[in-house]
Structure 1
């Protein structure tokens, strides 16, 4: 990264001057008379106060963020990206850059129009192009020189205001309505407000110079608030002068009515020209610095990385300025920017909106790292955000929607690139605050209405047992928590290596589209390590309620394995054992067989697991078969009615199948009936029920050898899975 050296601009030259010159812009000269004529004196003062209140609240949020951390190149983009994350910063920063680049063209075209009105023989396009190039050359020379040029423009604006104050009333001057213009008023109040509001949105001009300031932490708050205060005082005085000296018709119909009211009319023209030029200079100084910051953070595509370079000892973005000048010249050649102008205004307001949200969230979360010297209550920041959003819809609802869609598309484009950053942002703090409140809210025993399988997957290395991860992902389906756990030999990893390995596994899962927590532990015996995880892993009452593990085929491990199952059952956890058919895996994922043993035992859990699995997109077309074996035809009819009643009550799409055993054993029926299934669910006996649980599990494991991939299910004791499924309790056999 290129070094960032500040040129040493102070508060007055680096923040106050560009901000106040952008605030005192063309709307003040060309539209303020129209505002007073349509809204009346009190209406105009209300509009000025409301508009400045929104700007003031946003300025307070900017001050809070600016005094918490060093604000480097990029101004608003830098603040947002370091607070709400790179995706949000980039989504706002890219449109903000283009809005500022196109604004250069808007201001120079406005300058050219006013010049042509005075000197009729000139070509407007040529004047706009020449002025745009001259402004670009001024910015390329030095930000400091451009700031000094704005002092002369400020003098011209000050001269025009003095000329207006010392002016005279119109010969036809009459009384101006206090609210509205009575019969002459044809424009609603909020439409007038929407026209005026852009006049007070110049506070970002100083913030965008953050990388060129000697001390941005002090300069930005003082300069920004001083500019807002100065603008408010001037905007409150001008309606008093216009209402006293003008008449409604002249104020509404004559854009340059101030020229007629001034003691020296040409001073107003100097003010108009100075306002347009200062706004153009402010935009061409700010836009390249946003572009430079975007490139340095890697938000722009890699082939545009050269835009992040700086020139000279002051690290000025000359390459970015040349690029911005090219964009502005192209916009000038198009000539008519009226179609996109509302959208550009929306981008500026979107920036204010997000800045307010950033400050509000940071303050609300009370993060220990957020310690601004300029403190603002979170309610003020969020009130400013609501004001920005309301104004956006009042100005142009369609443009607001268009701007929002553009920001959202850029956000997801940046998010898909998975850019890595070296700083934290408020999002993690927000989630931490929500989690801390949620943990206390879910305290207490688990209830059937809100049950979901929070899985602890004893997978070992995920690459070696991916089918187990795939099954767990299908069952959780982003509805529940899933933790992939591995037990390593004691002493094989130190704490640092273990943390690094957890990160590696988490990244591996994420790249394969699996959202899961990862936990590694060490133990001399893997089964003891697994049991320790089951007993200790979790946060408060939020602990895994279901343990998913693979089957074991090693005779020497049966004793330890079965002991683990017994202890997990005693710990009141559901147990899911996956016995994979390595030749078929999950087959075509079209058919799931559940061998029913009653809703009160494992049946309810198996039915719920099959339902959850089918909600996964890969299993969505699977058919669930609910199979029950009876001894004779006499019992078959009643059994089928019971299964149909169960399926209807459970509201789970499944096909009941009642099989008459006759002289066949259950194993024969199982192999014949489920040979074509893609996944088979079988219930397990509770560990204390068989005389020898090890022999029982060994026979169960052997039974699955010739089956498709099979899931053994053992429900936690005394949990009402019948209520989870929503089945009538009488359905059992």
Structure 2
């Protein structure tokens, strides 16, 4: 249900900059919108439309075209009645809903489309003038230049003065329509025939539709004046929807007059057939000239205001920020008008805009589409902050967006693709600049909704087919232990989740200070190219804090499945450290202990040694981690050595065959290496065989009840002494990592 706010209760002024001297609904929105809708297509192409599809087909085209514009008008009205719409019109609405990057990606092309439209309209005015007065035929470009400068001077002088000038233009258009309505047939009734209902076999319906559709796309002329309105939230919906309604009524009546007063030949071959039908033919010329001049005025008023808003929001480069300055009590964008005049004059001098005209239409339509998307997303999310007094069901806005997209393809598919590429290129450019806006937008709400749906549909049962490490990194201060975070990033490839966690002493930070520190760490990690969450807790000691994190951190089934922590050489902490590892393992988490060789680091990142103890338990997880490393950017193409120690050569022969067969089945590119101990202790073989490795992976035994795990861990550390950087891996006991490797269903 659509609720029209024609009567609104008194509300406090939300924008102190609004002034009683601003433009009202009729002059600021309705007038520029209706004058752009009733444009040159009505005067010069409507007869051709009726000739090809008849008045019945014409009514269908008018209804379908206006429906798309009407849905867009509803979306604009919803956004305009939710917030104060300041300078920038459509750009302002989009940027405050979908973000500054999306607003800029649409706003920059929209500015150039409006600036070049000034040249299109003044060239059209000059052409119609020279056709009516042959003496001016050789001075067409000069006439267009003079006209362009004149409308720019009018805009620089005052927006109010330009609007008053449009009243005279509206009077000329009304006079032309009345003259046409009281006109006379130019063809005998017997010659009109039955073609006037359905037309003759000529251009296809959708080709005719594409020619007519730009006639109903003038609603941005009023929206772009948002910064000059007394009450934008009231004037934009009333003025825009009124202009759409009046335009629709006029366009529904005209086909009947045309089809019953002229034959097929006259409508097809005479662009000014309305002049021949009209009671006073020259009134149609006044209407044509008024239509072109009003459209030029609407563009020269709107384009600088979009440019002013882009500059003020920092979308434009810093060297162009001066374009955001306003002049006078009405904050008029004089600098922007001069720049727009320069663009228009350059386009007039080129003269032929036929090649870029379709792309300009695409920019206008893409603006309409994105406005519909913004209203649809806002309405769908139903955020408490979105409270328009003009409520529109979100699916109507979505239908409007799909309608705009369909029309873009129907009018000119190539131009639509070109426009899409340009908009996407600007979006990427703005995103890389990492613009900071002082307002929130709907993107966060959209991500929250998607996250909610994803978590609710995630399920509690682990899935071996889609397993990825969701890593909780107990890093302490990340600046001092960056290799831990780097390793986690290499494991996840920015596909799994990383949480960088620190445990601070109890009472060292309050909640506000913790949040501030989390923000700083998140910024530091992001600047180094790692996508990660950050969590800080306080606890009596770091081991208690780690256990609390694992116990409480996460959302529903989305909890860390792997804990990555650094090794500890401190004997006084070893018992608590090992107790913490045992607790983490009992909580069904995999544990990875990172033992860094500070002199070697990760060295060349070319070789990973995995000491094999079987596919089950630790072996499967170690191979998965090695594979994830070698497919990451910094470890790309590293060689994985699968190492196994056997007591004698007899056992080695069978082991080699089994290990090679396993390596081939797993499709990881791992090389098997079977070593014969010949009585040598394993630590000696380990140090000798892996001394040239860049990373060594060793499995840890599972902590047992009644076992002194700290004593075992001390022996493990002694065995790894002198090795390159090493990982001690303890796999979660309840997860079948071998099924992830073998791809079992």
Does the TM-score normalized on the shorter chain lie above 0.5? yes
Structure 2 match to 1:155 = 171
Q: Secondary structure at the match of 1:619?
A: coil
| Contact 1:5-1:314 at 8 Å conserved across structures | no
Q: Does 1:459 align with 2:475?
A: yes
Structure 2 match to 1:79 = 93
Q: Secondary structure at the match of 2:675?
A: strand
1:691 Cα deviation (Å)? 3.9
Structure 2 match to 1:118 = 132
Flag the 1:176–1:337 CA change in 2: closer, same or farther, 3 A. farther
Hey, which bits of structure 1, 4+ residues long, moved more than 4 A?
A: 2-7
CA distance in 2, matches of 1:490, 1:240: 83
The one of 28, 49, 55 equivalent to 2:69 is 55
Which deviates the most, 696-705 or 540-549? Answer: 696-705
The one of 254, 261, 285 equivalent to 1:238 is 254
The one of 646, 659, 669 equivalent to 1:643 is 659
1:476 Cα deviation (Å)? 1.1
Structure 2 match to 1:371 = 387
The one of 37, 41, 48 equivalent to 1:27 is 41
| Contact 2:312-2:324 at 8 Å conserved across structures | yes
Q: Does 1:426 align with 2:411?
A: no
Which deviates the most, 692-701 or 146-155? Answer: 692-701
Structure 2 match to 1:413 = 429
Which deviates the most, 663-672 or 707-716? Answer: 663-672
| Contact 1:77-1:290 at 8 Å conserved across structures | yes
Q: Does 1:710 align with 2:726?
A: yes
Q: Does 1:724 align with 2:740?
A: yes
CA distance in 2, matches of 1:419, 1:4: 25
Structure 2 match to 1:208 = 224
Structure 2 match to 1:352 = 368
CA distance in 2, matches of 1:526, 1:312: 63
Q: Does 1:14 align with 2:28?
A: yes
The one of 445, 452, 475 equivalent to 1:436 is 452
Structure 1 match to 2:10 = none
TM-score (norm 2): 0.96
Q: Secondary structure at the match of 1:599?
A: coil
Q: What CA RMSD, in Å, does the superposition of the two structures yield over aligned residues? A: 1.5
Deviation string 1:588-633 (CA, Å, 9 cap, x unpaired) is 1111111011111200001111111122111111111111111112
1:727 Cα deviation (Å)? 7.2
1:90 Cα deviation (Å)? 0.4
| Contact 2:696-2:724 at 8 Å conserved across structures | yes
Q: Secondary structure at the match of 1:121?
A: helix
CA distance in 2, matches of 1:528, 1:689: 20
| Contact 1:592-1:625 at 8 Å conserved across structures | yes
Q: Secondary structure at the match of 2:680?
A: coil
| Contact 1:176-1:247 at 8 Å conserved across structures | no
| Contact 1:646-1:727 at 8 Å conserved across structures | no
Q: Secondary structure at the match of 1:680?
A: strand
Q: Secondary structure at the match of 2:465?
A: coil
Q: Secondary structure at the match of 1:449?
A: helix
1:411 Cα deviation (Å)? 0.4
Output aligned runs, 1:495-534, within 5 Å: 495-534=511-550
Q: Does 1:618 align with 2:613?
A: no
CA distance in 2, matches of 1:109, 1:370: 43
CA distance in 2, matches of 1:75, 1:598: 66
| Contact 2:55-2:199 at 8 Å conserved across structures | no
- Unmatched 5+ stretches in structure 1: none
CA distance in 1, matches of 2:662, 2:198: 71
CA distance in 1, matches of 2:22, 2:666: 72
- Unmatched 5+ stretches in structure 2: 1-14
Which deviates the most, 696-705 or 203-212? Answer: 696-705
Q: Secondary structure at the match of 2:163?
A: helix
Q: Secondary structure at the match of 2:75?
A: helix
CA distance in 1, matches of 2:434, 2:206: 42
The one of 264, 272, 280 equivalent to 1:248 is 264
| Contact 2:18-2:231 at 8 Å conserved across structures | no
CA distance in 1, matches of 2:669, 2:372: 49
1:3 Cα deviation (Å)? 9.1
| Contact 1:40-1:176 at 8 Å conserved across structures | no
TM-score (norm 1): 0.97
Q: Secondary structure at the match of 1:418?
A: coil
| Contact 2:229-2:235 at 8 Å conserved across structures | yes
CA distance in 1, matches of 2:536, 2:743: 39
1:577 Cα deviation (Å)? 0.6
The one of 589, 596, 609 equivalent to 1:580 is 596
Structure 1 match to 2:5 = none
Number of residues of Structure 1 aligned to a counterpart in Structure 2: 726
Q: Does 1:260 align with 2:312?
A: no
| Contact 1:41-1:177 at 8 Å conserved across structures | no
CA distance in 2, matches of 1:75, 1:545: 48
CA distance in 2, matches of 1:168, 1:179: 19
Flag the 1:715–1:218 CA change in 2: closer, same or farther, 3 A. same
Flag the 1:176–1:304 CA change in 2: closer, same or farther, 3 A. farther
Q: Does 1:177 align with 2:195?
A: yes
CA distance in 1, matches of 2:417, 2:472: 43
Deviation string 1:477-499 (CA, Å, 9 cap, x unpaired) is 12211100011122222221211
Q: Secondary structure at the match of 1:575?
A: strand
